[in-house]
Amino acid sequence: MARLPTVAHPTVSPDGDEIAVYYDGTGRNELHVLDAETGNIEQWSDGEVPRNARWPVAWGADGERVFFHLDDDGDEQNDIYAIDRTGAVEAVVEMEGQVSLNDVESDGEALLVGSTRDGQMNLYRRDLSTGETTKLTDYDRAVGAASFSPDYERIAYGANESDDDANLDVYVADTDGSNPRKLELGEVGAETTPVDWGPESERLLVSDDSTDLNRCGVYDLTVDEVTWFGDGDYEETPVSFVDDGRKFVATQMRRATTIPVVYDIDSGAVHEFDLPEGVAGFGWQSERNLTGNRVLLTHTTPTRRTELLAYDFETHQRETLLEADHGDFSTDDFADAEYFRFESSGVPETPAKAVEHDPYDELEIGALFYDSGLRPSPLVVNPHGGPRARDSKSFDLYTQVLVQCGFSVLQVNYRGSTGRGREFVEELYDDWGGAEQGDVATAVEHVLDTYDWLDEDRVVVFGGSYGGYSTYWQAVQYPDLYAASIAWIGVTDLHDMYENTMPHFQTELMERYLGDPDENADLYEERSPTTYAENVDAPLFILHGVNDRRVPVSQARRFRNALDEHGYEEGTDYEYRELGAEGHASSDIDQKIRTFELLADFLGRRVGTTMASADD
């Protein structure tokens, strides 16, 4: 299953006829170019691009080369390289720290990049003819969502100069970074971001969550007025202008699905794309506009892997450009997702062993359940990362591998997840390791009560990144629920995490959710799983990439050391594995297989499965 070809970061060429995309049909991630009319796909790279397809690609202005991010074995300290149609590769931007390509001037003269070269993530302009790099912004908090105006006279970006860590505002400045101006849009504490320039360079498509559910707006820079769209029934995210700026595409989040829509700017009329229920996507920093009133998008369902589609937003007809490859599998081999909601106070019936909480506000929490078909069935609880993210009705390779191994799977969109509005996200502020972890444990209790064929003695918690933090926390807070735990690239020590993660994660993640580490030192200590390592009461498997710069490998080492100090024995009470040549997870086929084999081996030895079919 891990060897099935995967597409990532498709982006349309300047003439609208070709699509650059990462594709690993050869067994390794390579850059390919797809002809949108003929369907022919050509491989441009041969090992020069990274094995892990984490970061996006972008076309050069002439359509003859593609820029890509290159790091050292997944450490995300990227430089920017370019590859042309002959396969020739050259370094374009080499700077200390992390470099992220935001935009390419359409006349081909310059790149707009973000970089942590001087500490915090700020913006730089790279002149491609002279090789000169000019710093454009100098903010204390991270700057992002940046783009050139089509006439190259201005840039738009998101930044925060307020006293509220959660705030984000839209700024417009001259191309050299001078004369920055904050647009008066959202309220303080809300997130307002620029998304796309109108073709005439006088309008901005913007996103804002001042009214709780995220909304789409068009800001007219000539009169400094914004027009908001939508009826507020769903969380909506703008994508890009289409039809020469007369319309724009957006997505709506509905009960674990993502639905694309197109708005007519003059009338405000909205039309939903005609697609099967699932998750549609338009890429991160991608160009989407194909020739002929068409947009490029991806689409997936729990039982169908990601495919590339061209969608005509006038006729509402769709064409498959790159089909999902299921190899020897059929969609019937994969488990479908059941979406449900349950009430949670953030305090489960299972006694807390680390930090006790009074009941929180009773909230309706969403979750996805995948039935393995085995009776009885062990269960893997798989909290998502982020924490600002959500699980959805998309194809999840890790879930399907676990199902093939005989485990039913539970995913929980705990308070703090996206898709439910700003207030739901802010439930997690100042409370890591609080109500959201109670939501996860309550979800486990709920499905064990609902499905009597689940084996309550074989429940495992497994997660990565913030899901790894959740795994550690579940293991020390609610150890009575679990027969084993698998913590992958997870956070364990919040003070150490703050000191060693990248600067923009310090401000945009740690300070936003937990405040200043000196002022809130007690909270950082209280909500660190290492503080309660002695509560681990079942086999624990610790997995971490040695090149992880988001969640440094010191996090795994500190928890291992804490276990050792409490008398736990490696190999008996816990298992530990550092993954070489890997950072914060990986999409590389060989690295995925290595991780899956480690998971399957641990689960088989420590938990086991009953390989009897549902019919039996």
Q: For residue 348, what pLDDT band results from cuts at 50, 70 and 90?
A: very high
Is residue 614 pLDDT above 70, yes or no? no
H/E run at residue 505: helix 503-505
Query: By C-alpha distance, which of 209, 304, 214 is closest to 253?
Result: 214
| Residue percentage of the chain with pLDDT more than 90 | 98
pLDDT band at 609, cuts 50/70/90? Answer: confident
- Which tokens hold the place of 140? 């204390």
CATH 3.40.50.1820 fits 337-390+447-607, yes or no: yes
Question: Is there a contact between 187 and 181 (Cβ–Cβ < 8 Å)?
Answer: no
Q: Which residue has the tokens 């959201």?
A: 436
Are 78 and 69 in contact by the 8 Å Cβ rule? The answer is: yes
- The angle subtended at Cα 298 by Cα 292 and Cα 302, nearest 5°, is 145
pLDDT tens by residue, 269-285: 999 999 999 999 999 98
Pair 196, 204: CB distance under 8 Å? yes
Q: What is the pLDDT of residue 27?
A: 96
Which pTM was predicted?
0.97
How does the average pLDDT of the chain come out, rounded?
96
- Judged against a pLDDT cut of 50, whether residue 428 lies above it is answered with yes
Average pLDDT (442-460) is 98
CA–centroid distance for 194 within its chain: 19
DSSP 302: T
Alpha-carbon distance 411 to 432, whole Å?
18
Cβ-contact 172, 154 below 8 angstroms = yes
Percentages of the chain per state (helix, strand, coil), in multiples of 5: 20, 35, 45
Of 383, 554, 364, nearest in space to 482 by CA? 383
| Residue ranges per structural domain of the chain | 1-93, 337-390+447-607
Q: Do 62 and 128 meet the contact criterion of CB atoms below 8 Å apart?
A: no
Give the model's pLDDT for residue 616. 37
Does position 435 have pLDDT exceeding 60, yes or no?
Answer: yes
Q: What is the pLDDT of residue 611?
A: 45
What is the band of 615 on the pLDDT scale with cuts at 50, 70, 90? very low
pLDDT band at 610 (very low <50, low <70, confident <90, very high): low
pLDDT digits (tens, 9 = 90+) for 70-89: 999 999 999 999 999 999 99
pLDDT at 62: 94
Average pLDDT over residues 225-252: 97
pLDDT of residue 447 exceeding 80, the answer is: yes
Core vs surface per residue 8-47: b (16+ CB within 10 A) or e: bbbbbbbebbbbbbbbbbeeebbbbbbebeeeeeeebbee
Pairwise CA distance, residues 528 & 496, whole Å: 10
Contact 587, 8 (CB under 8 A): yes
| DSSP reduced 3-state for 513 | helix
Cα–Cα distance measured from residue 581 to residue 547, given in angstroms and rounded to the nearest whole number: 7
Residues 159-176, mean pLDDT to the nearest whole number: 97
CA–CA gap between residue 70 and residue 68 (Å, rounded): 7
Look at residue 106 in the predicted model and tell me its pLDDT.
83
Average pLDDT (208-223) is 98
Which DSSP symbol is given to 226?
E
Q: Mind listing the pLDDT tens digit for each residue in 486-512?
A: 999 999 999 999 999 999 999 999 999
Q: Give strand pairing partners of 31.
A: 22
